[in-house]
């Protein structure tokens, strides 16, 4: 059975773009935070994402948020968009923002390990 060094009072759920996964992992490991990750899909473009679950206490919550926001940056990507108002359909590249991090912080009242 694993024992946490701190009392777990918060669960941080962080959804990051799959391209940022390794950078986020390194940032969390450098700070000594334990995490679990699993693949996920979603958003406007149905992009591949990775969801991180990080158990922590109230004191380390802001440090985790800071590291996540530093590691996962937004960037411009291009998608194919059709122009419907032309005599024949034309496909043009359209700019869109991808990446970044979506963070949910949940209060943990109780947890058990089996």
Higher pLDDT, 42 or 105: 105
Q: Is the pLDDT of residue 1 over 50?
A: no
**Residue 112 located in a structural domain:** no
Q: List the CATH number of the domain containing 80.
A: 3.30.70.120
CA 12 – CA 57 distance, rounded (Å)? 10
The domain in which residue 103 lies consists of: 10-107
* Weakest-pLDDT range from 11-25, 31-45, 74-88: 74-88
CA 103 – CA 11 distance, rounded (Å)? 10
Provide the CB-side half-sphere exposure for 112 (13 A, CA).
1
Tokens encoding 24: 């986020």
Q: Are 16 and 28 in contact (CB under 8 A)?
A: no
**Residue 67 located in a structural domain:** yes
List, for residues 44-87, the tens digit of each pLDDT value.
556 788 999 999 999 999 999 999 999 988 888 787 777 777 77
**Residue 16 located in a structural domain:** yes
Q: How many CB atoms lie within 10 A of CB 9?
A: 15
For residue 44, the model assigns a pLDDT of: 58
**Residue 94 located in a structural domain:** yes
DSSP H/E element including 95: strand 90-99
**Residue 114 located in a structural domain:** no
State the chain's mean pLDDT as an integer.
85
What is the domain count for the chain?
Answer: 1
């Amino acid at each position: 059975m694993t024992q946490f060094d701190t009392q777990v009072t918060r669960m941080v759920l962080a959804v990051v773009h799959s391209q940022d996964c390794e950078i986020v992992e390194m940032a969390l490991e450098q700070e000594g935070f334990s995490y679990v990750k699993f693949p996920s899909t979603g958003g406007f473009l149905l992009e591949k994402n990775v969801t991180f679950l990080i158990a922590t206490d109230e004191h380390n919550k802001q440090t985790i948020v800071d590291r996540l926001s530093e590691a996962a940056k937004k960037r411009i990507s291009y998608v194919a968009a059709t122009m419907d108002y032309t005599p024949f359909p034309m496909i043009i590249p359209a700019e869109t923002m991808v990446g970044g991090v979506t963070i949910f912080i949940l209060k943990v009242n109780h947890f058990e390990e089996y």
